[in-house]
């Protein structure tokens, strides 16, 4: 085996297909239901919100879907992303395990989000959309969609939760460098926003309100559509470039198949993206491995939620989805891993979890940041607090290998860097993280 | 030629030597003079501040110096750094020029600074130093040295200019994640700091004061030395890994020798690092090209300074160096490219400029940020405001090629990313940059 820390693919080795897991699922997905009638939604029901191409992808049964050339061209600005062998972390842990991580933090916005943002912008453009709207919390998803719209010459309007807009200006500015219009939500652009502002002029907003504003804006403005950064089938589809690359990279250094594959989960897109190309081999019986989804203890959809039909948003503008959910009115505590503060879980991952094909773990915020520091001081990359959930699990599994002496191969997704989250690290180092109630 | 956007070297292809330009200079360097006697400094004069190994390197006549294995091991966490072909920028400019940039922004602190920080920490450790002190403005250099000290298990104390400590907390936190002690300067740790605080309790500090504090701390504390992030010969030596890699990368894609090589200059280390391995061929007469050093219009050591002996700091604790200088008491305007706000220029670059081997250009701050946006919206990397000076020059040279139809090869150094400088972009986009007096 080559003694490399980083395993690269050349531009030419980059996969040119996404993997659609739908035809390989152990049983069919339950259909989304209309929020009004609770009948299965028709494709037409979704057309005011999404363009026809993406609606088709959402329900496609085609196993491999060609990545359009224009999407590949933009991917090549930062992809293929590197796979790292975490040699210094292994040494620090004195583990016989071999730890690998796929690093999505070198993308233009510092996370995996552009993999689907670029694809969604492309298909919208193709279908005649001239303007996309979305919501964003801390700004990871909003900045990804802003970039994507720039490259396809579309307008982009982002409703950013007001408290983040005020307290975390950096990602707001990043969206603006890409030319996006960013509004603090609640805004007076929409009825939904105005209603809130009438009742609570000082409202700091929420992701639920911002989603309502973004959808209302899209459906009431000509040539506008709405774009979502996780949860849906087509979003996870676009993220499978991560896992397809990782497979090639492990082969390239002659590594055996992973024994454990780990990712943090909020809506589920980064984990699904890494996992599905491997899960194909597990479902077919060709390979076996453990797949671990890692949640915050304070927002554990898998471990504390129910597998049932629920709404994707607070206001009930989305269809009902069959998923693990804490309830669409669940308000998670204000933990620093903002990207994991979602009440539901992607229907695709929910089905796999329900079928026993993946397992779940949850950890407390302080343990996550402790693990992040161990990683950072070994590997010299500052992780996003979200991604640090995957690190914590990988470290725990590697420690078990130390006990048993097993040379397991552990692969996790480092879905984003934490350089724009240094405010959270400041609290962790200099003030101490507050206690979070985990009984909610 | 291969149609790649990014040109990588494998771990094994990474150069294992630094290039020392001293023996190849067109004439000998003028010696540093003692700040008290104005006689040439002896090596002993420098020993309270620097370790013997680095003092030897500062005056070495050895053309190639082996990079120690322990330094290479840490370099490999992020090196070799990628060379990019700026295809989208070329297209945006409609230029026949082929534009390449070496990207140092994927390092653990987002710039080229760790190349010398790691080396300096290594030699200090070898020579028995247990603790390093330094100063930092916005924090680029301080975070690099903090990381380096962590890997060699040494303490690190950083005096950070108070106004940055208060207003730019992110890099302060980054230093702390590496375990460094960071003090707002002026502090009450040192006589120099106390003197200032007595006279001006509300002093917001300056780089000059911070240097005085860091040196005083080093010379008055057992087993402590001081570390400098630019200007000196050994610092530029360590940065030549940048240019050695770039040469291999251009060869790898079959590109001809560059016609123009560009870098921004503050103290001069990133430009020297890219340039010197090429300059070797120019001095020998084997190759010819234009070398362009780019300065802020408001702090132009080359274009507005004098070539004479001057102090490196305000308080006169450093030797006199023969260099282009605006005067050691020059206080540059508060431009956003903080890393370029230095009154002097590396003696090595100063000699080359004086010998006609390099030329200089300067640009206004607003033009720099305009150029940065053109680059970012093409290439999807947000540049540090310092590095954007090199971009501005590269764009201007590429535009000339459009006029003349010449297919020149332009190479510049993108020495750092701007994700922790989004505050400056916020001012640029949302408030407008203030007018800067360029007659100072």
Residue A324: inside a domain: yes
Q: Report chain A residues whose CB lies below 8 A from the CB of B83.
A: none
CA distance B339 to chain A (A): 19
Give bridge partners of residue A262 from the DSSP assignment. A292, A412
C-alpha distances (whole Å) from B78 to each of A7, B48, B111, B114, B222 are: 12, 33, 11, 10, 33
Q: Is the pLDDT of residue B437 over 70?
A: no
What's the pLDDT at B5? Answer: 86
Instruction: Write the CA distances from B119 to B76, B223, B275, integer angstroms.
Output: 13, 18, 19
**Are residues A91 and A205 located together in one domain of the fold?**
no
Taking all residues of chain A, what is their mean pLDDT, rounded to a whole number? 94
pLDDT tens digits, one per residue of B200-233? 999 888 888 898 899 999 999 999 999 999 999 9
Is residue A180 over pLDDT 60? Answer: yes
- Where is average pLDDT lowest: A368-372, B163-167, B252-256, B273-277? B163-167
Query: How many CB atoms lie under 10 A from the CB of residue A279?
Result: 26
Residues in chain A with CB shorter than 8 Å from the CB of B381 are 108
Closest CA to A245 of A408, A103, A391: A103
Contacts of B333 (CB under 8 A, 6+ apart): B298, B299, B436, B437, B440
Q: Say yes or no: A81 and A159 in one domain.
A: no
- Is the pLDDT at A3 greater than 90, yes or no? no
A179 contacts B5? CB cut-off 8 A = no
A77 pLDDT more than 90 = yes
Q: Are residues B144 and B248 in the same domain?
A: no
Residue A439 lies in a domain: no
Same domain assignment for residues B101 and B223: no
Whether A339 and A263 map to the same domain: the answer is yes
| CA gap A67, B373 in Å, rounded | 28
Cβ-defined contact of A177 to B147 (cutoff 8 Å): no
Q: A108, B6: Cβ pair inside 8 Å?
A: no
Q: What pLDDT does residue B175 have?
A: 97
Q: What is the token pair recorded at B112?
A: 């080229």
Whether A62 maps to a domain, the answer reads no
Please indicate, yes or no, whether residues A266 and A224 belong to a single structural domain of this protein. no
Residue of B nearest to A114 (CA): B380
Which chain A residues contact residue B173 at CB under 8 A?
422-423, 425-426, 429-430
pLDDT score, position B2? 45
Q: Residues of B at the A interface (Cβ-Cβ below 8 Å)?
A: 3-6, 8, 10-11, 76-78, 88, 106, 108, 110, 147, 150, 169-171, 173-174, 176-179, 373, 376-377, 379-382, 419-420, 422-423, 425-426, 429-430
Q: Provide the shortest C-alpha distance from residue A79 to chain B (in Å).
A: 9
Query: Two tokens at B357?
Result: 């081997």
Residues B124 and B250 both lie in one domain: no
Please give the pLDDT value at position B435. Answer: 72
Q: Which of A88, A380, A426 is opposite residue B78, by nearest beta carbon?
A: A380
Q: What is the ipTM of this complex?
A: 0.94
Q: Can you tell me the mean pLDDT for A298-317? A: 91
**Does the pLDDT value for residue A79 go beyond 50?**
yes
Mark whether B83 and B98 lie in a shared domain: yes
Q: Is residue A127 part of a domain?
A: yes
Residue A178: which residues within 8 A CB-CB, separation 6 or more? A143, A146, A147, A149, A150, A156, B377
Domain final residue, candidates B232, B264, B284: B232
Instruction: Give the Å distances, CA to CA, from B204 to B167, B184, B186, B201, B331.
Output: 11, 9, 7, 9, 14
Q: Are residues A297 and A346 in the same domain?
A: yes
- Where residue A359 falls among pLDDT bands split at 50, 70, 90? very high
Q: What is the model's pLDDT at position A8? A: 92
> Where does a domain end: B211, B232, B253?
B232
Kindly state the average pLDDT of the residues A250-273: 97
Nearest chain A Cα distance for residue B178, angstroms: 7
A170 and B422: CB-CB below 8 Å? yes
pLDDT (0 to 100) of residue A337: 85
Q: What is the CATH number of the domain that holds B156?
A: 3.40.50.1100
Domain count, chain B: 2
**Residue B439 pLDDT > 70:** no
Contact B429 A3 (CB under 8 A): no
**What pLDDT is attached to residue B67?**
98
The pLDDT score that the predictor gives to residue B309 is: 97
Instruction: Report DSSP letters for A300-321, one per residue.
Output: -HHHHSEEEEEESSSSS-SPEE
Question: In Å, what is the CA distance from B66 to each residue of B72, B235, B238?
Answer: 10, 15, 11
- From chain A, pick out residues whose CB is under 8 angstroms from the CB of B5: 11, 76-77
Last residue of a domain, one of B232, B248, B281: B232
Residue B84 lies in a domain: yes
Domain coverage including residue A270? 6-14+68-110+234-431
B60 in any annotated domain: no
Query: Is pLDDT at A100 greater than 60 in this prediction?
Result: yes
Has this prediction a pTM greater than 0.90? Answer: yes
CA distance A264 to A104: 13
> Per residue in B50-88, pLDDT tens?
999 999 999 999 999 999 999 999 999 999 999 999 999
Asked whether residue A437 is domain-assigned, the answer is no
* Residue B214 and residue B187 share a domain: yes
In this predicted structure, the answer to whether residue B438 has a pLDDT above a threshold of 90 is no
Q: Inter-chain contact B3–A11, Cβ cutoff 8 Å?
A: yes
Residue B193 lies in a domain: yes
In this predicted structure, what is the pLDDT of residue A317? 81
Candidates A7, A146, A174, A373, partner chain B, best to mutate (most B CBs within 10 A): A174
Do A278 and A402 share a domain, yes or no? yes
Q: How confident is the model at residue A438 (pLDDT cuts 50, 70, 90)?
A: low
Assess whether B254 and B309 both reside in one domain.
Answer: yes
Q: Which chain B residues are closer than 8 Å to A422 by Cβ?
A: 169-171, 173-174, 420
Chain B positions touching A384 (Cβ under 8 A) are none
């Amino acid at each position: 085996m080559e003694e490399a820390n980083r395993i690269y693919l050349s531009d030419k080795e980059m996969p040119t297909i996404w993997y659609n897991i739908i035809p390989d699922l152990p049983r069919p997905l339950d259909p989304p239901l209309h929020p009004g009638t609770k009948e299965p939604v028709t494709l037409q029901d979704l057309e005011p919100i999404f363009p026809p191409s993406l609606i088709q992808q959402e329900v496609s049964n085609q196993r491999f879907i060609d990545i359009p050339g224009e999407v590949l061209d933009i991917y090549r600005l930062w992809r293929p992303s590197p796979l790292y062998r975490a040699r210094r972390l292994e040494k620090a842990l004195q583990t016989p395990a071999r730890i690998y991580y796929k690093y999505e933090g070198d993308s233009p916005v510092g996370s995996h989000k552009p993999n689907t943002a670029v694809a969604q912008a492309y298909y919208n453009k193709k279908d005649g959309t001239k303007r996309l709207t979305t919501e964003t919390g801390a700004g990871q998803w909003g900045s990804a969609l802003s970039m994507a719209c720039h490259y396809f010459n579309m307008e982009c309007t982002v409703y950013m939760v007001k408290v983040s807009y005020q307290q975390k200006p950096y990602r707001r500015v990043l969206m603006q460098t890409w030319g996006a219009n960013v509004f603090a939500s609640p805004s007076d652009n929409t009825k939904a926003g105005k209603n809130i502002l009438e009742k609570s002029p000082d409202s700091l907003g929420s992701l639920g309100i911002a989603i309502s504003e973004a959808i209302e804006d899209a459906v009431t403005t000509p040539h506008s559509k709405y774009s979502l950064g996780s949860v849906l089938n087509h979003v996870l589809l676009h993220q499978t470039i991560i896992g397809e690359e990782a497979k090639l990279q492990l082969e390239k250094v002659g590594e055996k198949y992973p024994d454990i594959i780990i990712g943090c989960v909020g809506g589920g897109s980064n984990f699904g993206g890494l996992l599905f190309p491997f899960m194909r081999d597990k479902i077919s019986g060709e390979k076996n491995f453990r797949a671990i989804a890692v949640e915050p203890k304070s927002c554990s959809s898998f471990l504390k939620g129910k597998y049932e039909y629920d709404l994707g948003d607070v206001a009930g503008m989305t269809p009902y989805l069959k998923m693990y959910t804490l309830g669409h009115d669940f308000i998670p505590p204000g933990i620093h891993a903002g990207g994991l503060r979602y009440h539901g879980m992607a229907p695709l991952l929910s089905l796999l979890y329900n079928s026993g094909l993946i397992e779940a773990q949850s950890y407390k915020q302080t343990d996550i940041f402790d693990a992040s520091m161990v990683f950072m001081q070994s590997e010299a990359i500052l992780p996003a607090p979200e991604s640090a959930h995957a690190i914590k699990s990988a470290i725990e599994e590697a420690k078990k290998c130390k006990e048993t002496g097993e040379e397991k191969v552990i692969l996790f997704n480092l879905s984003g860097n934490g350089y724009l989250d240094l405010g959270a690290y400041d609290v962790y180092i200099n003030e101490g993280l507050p206690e979070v109630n985990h009984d909610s």
